[in-house]
Structure 1
Amino acid sequence: MMRALAVDPATQSSRIVDVPVPKPKPGQILVEVTVAGINEMDVEVRAGGWAAQVKRFRRDGPVLSGFEFAGIARTSGKCIRAGQRVMGYSPVLNGPRVHAQFAAVPESSILAIPDSLSDESAAALCVMGLTAVEVLERLCPLSPAQSCLVIGAAGGFGVYAVQLAASRGARVTAVASAANESWVRAQGAQEFRAYETAPALQPGDAYDLIIDTPAHLSFRAAAPSLSRSGMYVSSNPTSDLAGLARSSISSRRAGFLMMLKTSPSRLTRLADLAENGTLRAAIDSVFDISEADKAFDRFATRGKQGRVLLRI
């Protein structure tokens, strides 16, 4: 048996339950989870969202939250060996949830953790770091002559977007709480706008990339602040479908931040960037699994700095 976290959407709370340790299927690795991240989807599930996915998760047991983690492999596969420290990302829409002592995860979704990274750093980098790499190395690679606006720059994804854009030599303007200005500038932002006192978009803006992590804008609203071939990227793929269609007939483009699954090659790229110091784990707080509700509430608090983690 193992300890696991069960969230109750009816009461928007969680509790610890004892459930059987999962048995890995062919192609899966049994991982003893040491640290797991909390993400927007987890908070929304606790609040009653993602009903179709929750119905599917319930067929596997009461664990409904968690999809990025660090831990220890307890079985071997083709590349992973029992006893190795591993990091991974359970496929977000159909994979096992990992807010539990053990999870059986596809081997294709995990990687051995480099010795230079702690479990906390690996878990903190996994999903949001992968997403930053996808946006800034695949969707819209920036050059030193270009500029980037990151809205929500102190959050889990925003901080890695700032770090990676700055590492590419781009000029980064960050939007976050005034209290986080010095911290966000330390991540690589050259300019700063406090959301309490200044609009994110201002007259004269002409960014090559606008990253809207709270998804408060739209492509239509952002387009006047984009360069001729600039790109607007939102964190919510369903909030601005009209904008995606509109961008198909414009020199300006729209994209979305949603990593449905990962691969060893993507995880290897993330690990390389962490090892060479390009991406640095940003951890706001770490809670024991028995304090999960405090962790969920902390995630939902504006003004945090980086990731919120659960120590399993």
Structure 2
Amino acid sequence: MTMRALAVDVAAGACRIVEAPAPRPGPGQVLVEMKVSAVNEMDVQVRAGGWARQVRQFRKTGPVLTGFEFAGVARSDGARIRAGQRVIGYSPVLDGPRTHAQFAAIDERDLAPIPDELLDEDAAALVVMGLTAIEVLEAIAPLKAGQKALVIGAAGGVGAYGVQLAASRGAQVTAVCSAANADFARRQGAAEVRTYEAAAYQQGDAFNLVLDTPARSSFGEAARYMARGGTYVSTNPTADLGGFLRAMLSPKRAGWLMLLRADPARLKRLIAAWCAGTLRPVIDSVYDLSDADAAFDRFATRGKQGRVLLRI
């Protein structure tokens, strides 16, 4: 059996559709027919020639080099998952099969069934960035009602979900985004919006959480505007390595999150947040697989609102 798959010509910095052998699931794997798969920073970087070590590993199994979060339909049975079930999944970032193709053989641990009411596009839009926001707001820096959060990059996927979850916990959320996205941030639950054109921090700020999704700030800069015991969280630990060392000597904390793999419990928690209405999918745009280059370009464009998806 063959399948349509997205191949990346790194030398040309472009994508193309190819026919490739469909994978066969091994022990512990489920064959998944992909319906919608998201675009991520890693995908754009792979097209530009990045992640060379991982690309060499991916090439051993076929031409598909991009994609790792998705909504689809199981086409084989596992121990928990049955053929015909709709599922979401998160293929391990560094060594899992890529998902910008009609089929992928996914470890069953990286899958969870989804309710009929959750549309494919909405499900795919939630996975990685929704999971990341949940980990920040529930594990790294849980907020209480009345506490204050600053979310930098509030119109992106992690930022928008961070605003939603913080607001759902009764926190007072200040969003930082472009002026064009101010209304979007307010719709996610932000009580106040500050634009990139102005200052993110203001005199008198005392945030319990600063969530810096584009890694624009630093612990040293944020600490002056954080409450005692407050936490600065970055999604890029390499951008502020010194800040983590300084935080060890401070009553304020620094943390970071790079979620490289999910599990059924985390995916179940994600679905529960959607069912409860505390996490709502944010979709900027949806492209057909044949328009992957346009989707990758859109992801790399500042000012987008939420997730960029590929319809497989």
Same fold, TM exceeding 0.5?
A: yes
SS at match of 2:73: strand
1:8 positional shift = 2.1
> Does structure 2 retain, via aligned residues, the 8 Å contact 1:116–1:275?
no
- Residue 237 of structure 1 and its aligned partner are, at CA, apart by 2.1
Instruction: Determine the C-alpha separation between the residues in 2 that align with 1:21 and 1:306.
Output: 31
Displacement of 1:251? 1.5
> What SS is found at the alignment partner of 1:143?
coil
2:135 corresponding residue in structure 1: 134
Q: How many residues align?
A: 311
Matches within 5 A, 1:62-81: 62-81=63-82
2:79 maps to 1:89: no
* Corresponding residue for residue 264 of structure 2: 264
By how many angstroms is 1:203 displaced?
Answer: 2.3
> Are 2:97 and 1:102 aligned?
no
Q: CA deviation at 1:126?
A: 0.5
1:168 counterpart residue number = 169
Greater CA deviation, 2-11 or 276-285?
Answer: 2-11
Tell me how far apart the structure 2 counterparts of residues 11 and 219 of structure 1 sit (CA, whole Å).
39
3-state SS, counterpart of residue 203 of structure 1: coil
1:232 aligned partner? 232
Q: Secondary structure at the match of 1:14?
A: strand
- CA–CA separation in structure 2 for the residues paired with 1:284 and 1:52: 31
| Conservation of the 8 A alpha-carbon contact between 1:179 and 1:303 | yes
Q: In 1, distance between residues paired with 2:240 and 2:195? A: 25
Q: Which moved more, 1:241-250 or 1:156-165?
A: 241-250
TM value normalised by structure 2: 0.98
> Unpaired segments of 5 or more residues in structure 1?
none
Report the Cα distance in structure 1 between the residues aligned to 2:141 and 2:243, rounded to whole angstroms: 17
Superposed displacement of residue 145, structure 1? 2.2
Deviations 1:159-201 (A, max 9, x none): 00000000000000001111111121011000001112x1112
**Matching residue's letter, 2:203:** P
Residues 45-79 of structure 1: per-residue CA shift (max 9 Å, x gap): 11111122222212222111100000000001111
After superposition, give the CA deviation of every residue in 1:92-144 in whole Å (9 maximum; x if it has no partner). Answer: 11101100100011100110011220010100000000001000001000001
> Residue deviations 1:7-37, cap 9 Å, x none?
1222221111111001111111100000000
Runs of 4+ displaced beyond 4 Å: none
Question: What's 2:54 paired with?
Answer: 53
Q: 3-state SS of the aligned residue for 1:60?
A: coil
Q: Percent identity?
A: 64
Instruction: Give the aligned residue type for 1:59.
Output: K
Q: CA deviation at 1:284?
A: 0.6
Question: What's the Cα RMSD here?
Answer: 1.0
Give me the whole-angstrom Cα distance separating, in 2, the residues matched to 1:15 and 1:292: 8
Work out the CA distance in 2 between the residues paired with 1:187 and 1:174. 10
Q: Is the 8 A contact 1:37 1:123 kept in 2?
A: yes
Show structure 2 runs of 5+ residues with no match: none
Q: Give matches, 1:1-312, under 5 Å.
A: 1-196=2-197, 198-312=198-312
- Aligned equivalents of 1:215, 1:143: Cα separation in 2: 24
Measured in 1, the distance between the counterparts of 2:142 and 2:95 equals 30
The separation in 1 between residues aligned to 2:241 and 2:77, in whole angstroms, is 43
SS of match in other structure, 1:239:
helix
Amino acid in structure 1 at the alignment position of 2:310 = L
Aligned-residue offset at 1:44: 1.1
Is the contact between residue 175 and residue 200 of structure 1 (CA under 8 Å) also seen in structure 2? yes
- 1:249 is displaced (CA, Å) by 2.2
Q: TM-score, normalised by structure 1?
A: 0.98
> What is the rounded CA distance, in whole Å, between the counterparts of 2:246 and 2:11 in structure 1?
39
